[in-house]
């Protein structure tokens, strides 16, 4: 076997040098390529500085909002966040579009099949919402279909375990769990919610409302009963602490269902804060208070109410004329329109207007749950306006504003703003009448319930010292007022030796019944309704009944509902 001759050492050295040179050249070329790419990226970044670049992603980030719980004044739950499945689709993965549309619309009939088919036809999309916040049992049925391209993600949904209770006050949220009305909107406006991705529950402390679940439930039940009992169109009511302005209960039937979300916002009108009404003779509380406080009358001042009062083309009459001169006390007890008009004319229009303004009845109010409807104030304030406003016509206000004004007249004379948060009132109090005037108004309201001649006698609740004033206002109609369509109102306070709470009830379009002897005035419907409400809520609010005298002469406590 012949052996190959060995290469000379010089030739081997040359080959090794060549290899190194080639390696260096390759490395240099690669490095230059990277440098060129890097330079190009720097150039593009410089050219596009300040420009927001967008990129398509397979799944859009769905923003939701984490919300604290809403609880009543005693910590009982009104609203909370829960985890809930939402359905989406990846059109590129769906095998049979028509099968998906057919089966989903059977389980979710609210879906629009045509729109769904169109959305699923675009296979360039990788994410399409089909239905957000689905009931878990429906989500399970869809999952069991086993259809490719369908999936779920967990989001937050607002839950209301008490259903419609306090629906107007609570408000509603939209599909992103953001507040759109009521106290839910307040949480957003006060920066109490947090933007989240997915289902991250809030760690914030619950927000404590001024409402009391028990008082709210009692109020709603009694208003529902009154609507049926008096064949009325609707009813509203509010219970408020006269010293703090805290609203313990507020209801306007029918109550909306906050579980409907944004749809609940426009479903029903909250007549307590969202409507303005001519309230009738409960305004006589204000008329008398103004005159007493200004020193223009005393409870014993006599006015001649024997004849109707004529002002231009208008004639003001009393429903049940006294036929004799009457004191301010009698005018209040018998609810004399003529007497109230005379008292107001003695005060004068400017003083009347200033007094109502001081009570907050001429300007728009606001609570945490939203703005209160703007009062409807007459464009001119002449003699006829003085007269009609004296007995509750010609000026329309929201019931909550009137309740606050009434509270000021019985709490010692200080106006406090209504609030739906416990312990969160602004604390500002404005003196509107003297303590002595407040005491006299309280005595008159109590007398109106205890005196056989009083229009509020059917509101009496043995043991709870109720006082109040009736009001029956004809509802506005084309060209005037509808004689047979009225709003019956009763404003009450208790216990009258030191009032703690105001209750205001309004019944819309009550009908005469056998129970009311075919009457539709407030003394026959709104007054007894207020009495039944007080009989239920007073024990819940810790108001102890005073001993009353039984028929046998023995002393006992009672919380009996009035007849």
Instruction: Give the residue numbers marked as catalytic.
Output: 281
Kindly give the pairing relationship between strand 370-371 and strand 366-367.
antiparallel
Question: Which tokens is 22 given?
Answer: 């080639």
- Find, among 347, 323, 318, the residue nearest to 335 by Cα: 318
Residues 551/530, Cβ–Cβ less than 8 Å: no
End-to-end CA distance of the chain: 135
Question: Dihedral through CA 265, CA 267, CA 272, CA 273, nearest 10?
Answer: 40
Token look-up 């998906």 returns 100
**Distance between CA 325 and CA 21 in Å, rounded?**
128
Alpha helical stretches, state H, 319-434: 328-333, 337-347, 349-358, 383-390, 399-410
Residues 352/344, Cβ–Cβ less than 8 Å: yes
Residues 343/390, Cβ–Cβ less than 8 Å: yes
Cα radius of gyration (the chain): 36
Question: What is the DSSP annotation of 144-209?
Answer: HH--TTEEEEEEEEEE-TTTTTTHHHH-EE-TTS-EEEHHHHHHHHTT--EEEES-----SPPEEB
Residues 210/419, Cβ–Cβ less than 8 Å: yes
Question: Which tokens is 92 given?
Answer: 């590129």
CA angle 267, 273, 277 (to 5 degrees): 100
Question: Which tokens is 476 given?
Answer: 């506005």
**Distance between CA 63 and CA 117 in Å, rounded?**
26
**Distance between CA 413 and CA 360 in Å, rounded?**
14
| Residue 130 DSSP code | E
């Amino acid at each position: 076997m012949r052996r190959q001759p060995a290469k000379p050492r010089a030739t081997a050295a040359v080959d090794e040098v060549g290899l190194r040179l080639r390696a260096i050249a390759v490395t240099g070329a690669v490095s230059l390529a990277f440098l060129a790419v890097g330079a190009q990226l720097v150039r593009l970044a410089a050219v596009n500085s300040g420009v927001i670049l967008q990129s398509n992603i397979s799944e859009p980030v769905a923003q939701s909002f984490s919300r604290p719980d809403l609880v009543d004044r005693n910590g009982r739950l009104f609203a909370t966040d829960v985890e809930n499945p939402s359905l989406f689709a990846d059109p590129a993965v769906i095998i049979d579009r028509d099968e998906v549309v057919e089966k989903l619309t059977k389980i979710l009939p609210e879906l629009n099949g045509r729109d769904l088919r169109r959305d699923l036809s675009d296979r360039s999309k990788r994410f399409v919402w089909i239905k957000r916040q689905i009931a878990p049992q429906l989500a399970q049925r869809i999952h069991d279909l086993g259809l490719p391209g369908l999936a779920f993600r967990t989001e937050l949904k607002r839950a209301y375990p008490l259903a419609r209770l306090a629906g107007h006050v609570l408000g509603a949220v939209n599909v992103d769990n953001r507040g759109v009305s009521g106290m839910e909107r307040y949480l957003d406006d006060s920066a109490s919610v947090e933007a989240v991705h997915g289902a991250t529950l809030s760690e914030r402390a619950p927000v404590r409302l001024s409402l009391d679940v028990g008082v709210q439930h009692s109020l709603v039940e009694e208003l529902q009963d009154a609507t049926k009992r008096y064949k009325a169109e609707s009813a509203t009511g509010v219970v408020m602490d006269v010293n703090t302005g805290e609203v313990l209960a507020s209801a306007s039937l029918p109550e909306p269902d906050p579980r409907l979300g944004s749809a609940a916002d426009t479903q029903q009108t909250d007549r307590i804060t969202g409507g303005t009404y001519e309230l009738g003779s409960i305004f006589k509380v204000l008329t008398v208070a103004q005159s007493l406080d200004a020193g223009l009358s005393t409870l014993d001042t006599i006015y001649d109410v024997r004849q109707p009062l004529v002002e231009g083309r208008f004639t003001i009459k009393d429903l049940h004329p006294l036929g004799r001169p009457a004191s301010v006390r009698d005018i209040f007890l018998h609810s004399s329109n003529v007497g109230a008009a005379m008292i107001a004319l003695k005060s004068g229009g400017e003083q009347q207007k200033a007094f109502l303004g001081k009570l907050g009845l001429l300007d728009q109010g606001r609570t945490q749950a939203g703005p209160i409807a703007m009062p409807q104030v007459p464009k001119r304030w002449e003699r006829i306006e003085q007269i009609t406003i004296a007995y509750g016509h010609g000026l329309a206000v929201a019931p909550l504003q009137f309740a606050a004004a009434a509270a000021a007249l019985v709490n010692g004379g200080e106006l406090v703003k209504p609030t739906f948060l416990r312990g969160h009132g602004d604390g500002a109090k404005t003196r509107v009448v003297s303590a002595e005037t407040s005491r006299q108004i309280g005595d008159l309201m109590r007398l109106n319930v205890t005196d056989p001649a009083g229009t509020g006698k059917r509101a009496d609740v043995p043991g709870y010292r109720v006082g109040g004033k009736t009001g029956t206002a004809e509802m506005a109609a084309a060209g005037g007022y509808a004689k047979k369509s009225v709003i019956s109102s009763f404003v009450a306070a208790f216990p009258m030796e030191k009032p703690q709470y105001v209750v205001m009830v309004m019944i819309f379009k009550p009908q005469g019944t056998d129970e009311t002897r075919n009457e539709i005035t407030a003394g026959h419907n709104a007054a007894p309704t207020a009495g039944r409400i007080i009989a239920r809520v007073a024990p819940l609010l810790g108001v102890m009944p005073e001993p009353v005298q039984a028929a046998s002469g023995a002393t006992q406590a009672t919380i009996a509902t009035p007849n």
